[in-house]
Amino acid sequence: MIYVIYALMAFSVFFAFAGVVGMLRMPDAFCRMQSSTNIATFGVLGVIIGGILYSVFFLNNSGFAIKLAALGVFYIVTNPISGHAIARAGYHHGVETAKMVCDKYGEDME
Amino acid sequence: MTKLLWFAICFAALALTLLFRVIKGPSVVDRAVAADSVDILTDMALIIYALYTGRSVYLDIALVTAILGFIGSVMVAKYLGGGMNE
pLDDT in tens, B15-47: 999 999 899 878 888 899 999 999 999 999 999
d(C-alpha A71, C-alpha A48), whole Å? 8
The 3 state secondary structure assigned to chain B is: CCHHHHHHHHHHHHHHHHHHHHHHCCCHHHHHHHHHHHHHHHHHHHHHHHHHHCCCHHHHHHHHHHHHHHHHHHHHHHHHHCCCCC
Shortest CB distance from B73 goes to which of A29, A82, A96?
Answer: A82
* Contact (CB<8Å) A86/B76: yes
Full-model pTM: 0.89
Domain ranges of chain B: 3-81
Asked whether the predicted pLDDT for residue B14 surpasses 80, the reply is: yes
* Contact (CB<8Å) A64/B1: no
Shortest CB distance from B80 goes to which of A44, A74, A90?
Answer: A90
The answer to whether the CB of A20 falls within 8 A of the CB of B20 is no
| ipTM of the predicted assembly exceeds 0.90 | no
B86 pLDDT band (50/70/90 cuts)?
A: very low
Closest Cα of chain A to B30: distance in Å? Answer: 6
Q: What is the pLDDT of residue A71?
A: 92
Substitution target in A21, A93, A105 with the highest count of B β-carbons within 10 Å is A93
d(C-alpha B1, C-alpha A32), whole Å? 35
Nearest to B29 by CA among B21, B17, B38: B21
Closest Cα of chain A to B22: distance in Å? Answer: 10
What's the mean per-residue pLDDT of chain A? 88
What's the mean per-residue pLDDT of chain B? 88
Asked whether the predicted pLDDT for residue A23 surpasses 60, the reply is: yes
Q: Which string of DSSP letters, residue by residue, matches A38-93?
A: HHHHHHHHHHHHHHHHHHHHTS--HHHHHHHHHHHHHHHHHHHHHHHHHHHHHHHH
* Contact (CB<8Å) B37/A39: yes
Residues of B within 8 A of A68 (CB-CB) are: 47, 59
Q: What is the pLDDT of residue A50?
A: 92
> In whole angstroms, how far apart are CA B26 and each of A24, A26, A32, A34, B2?
12, 12, 12, 17, 39
B85 pLDDT band (50/70/90 cuts)?
A: low
